[in-house]
Amino acid sequence: MPRPGLHDLEAVVAVARRSSFRGAALELGMSTTALSNAVGKLEAHLGVRLFNRTTRSVSLSDAGRLFVENVGPALQDIHGAMDAARSKQANPTGTLRINSYATAAREILSPLLLEFIRRYPQVHIDLVTEGRLLDIVAEGFDLGVRRATLVPSDMIAISLGRPQRNVVIGSPDYFKSYGMPSTPTDLLQHRCIRIRLPNGALFRWRFEKDGEPLLIDVNGPMTLDEASLSRGTVLEGVALGYVMERDVREDIEAGRLISVLKEWLPPSDELCIYYPGRRNPSAAHRAFVELARELGSKSRNTAV
pLDDT at 103 over 90: no
Q: Residue 304's pLDDT band (boundaries 50, 70, 90)? A: very low
Beta strands 258-260 and 143-147 are unpaired
Neighbours of 138 (CB within 10 A): 9
As a whole number of angstroms, the distance between CA 101 and CA 77 comes to 29
Percent of the chain past pLDDT 90, that is, above it, reads: 41
Look at residue 301 in the predicted model and tell me its pLDDT: 59
What digits encode the pLDDT tens for the residues 165-194? 889 999 999 999 999 999 999 999 999 999
Q: Mean pLDDT over all residues of the chain?
A: 87
Lowest mean pLDDT among 28-32, 85-89, 177-181, 202-206: 85-89
Residues in the chain: 304
Look at residue 26 in the predicted model and tell me its pLDDT: 85
Beta strands 202-203 and 193-196 are antiparallel
Look at residue 300 in the predicted model and tell me its pLDDT: 60
pLDDT at 110 over 80: yes
Q: Residue 9's pLDDT band (boundaries 50, 70, 90)? A: confident
Domains for the chain: give ranges and CATH numbers. Answer: 6-86 (1.10.10.10), 94-161+269-303 (3.40.190.10), 166-261 (3.40.190.290)
Gyration radius (Cα) of the chain, Å = 23
Question: Do 103 and 150 form a contact (C-beta atoms < 8 A)?
Answer: no
Q: Residue 90's pLDDT band (boundaries 50, 70, 90)? A: low
What digits encode the pLDDT tens for the residues 45-70? 888 999 988 877 888 999 889 988 88
Q: Which residue has the higher pLDDT, 263 or 132?
A: 263
Look at residue 142 in the predicted model and tell me its pLDDT: 92
As a whole number of angstroms, the distance between CA 102 and CA 117 comes to 19
| Inter-CA distances, 159 with 85, 118, 279, 297, Å | 28, 22, 21, 9
Look at residue 253 in the predicted model and tell me its pLDDT: 95
Mean pLDDT of 17-31: 86
Q: Is the pTM of this model over 0.95?
A: no
What digits encode the pLDDT tens for the residues 187-231? 999 999 999 877 678 889 999 988 888 999 999 999 998 878 899
Mean pLDDT of 33-49: 89
| Inter-CA distances, 154 with 137, 150, 151, 157, 221, Å | 11, 12, 9, 9, 40
Question: Do 193 and 241 form a contact (C-beta atoms < 8 A)?
Answer: yes
As a whole number of angstroms, the distance between CA 214 and CA 188 comes to 13
Q: Which residue has the higher pLDDT, 105 or 164?
A: 105
Percent of the chain past pLDDT 70, that is, above it, reads: 93
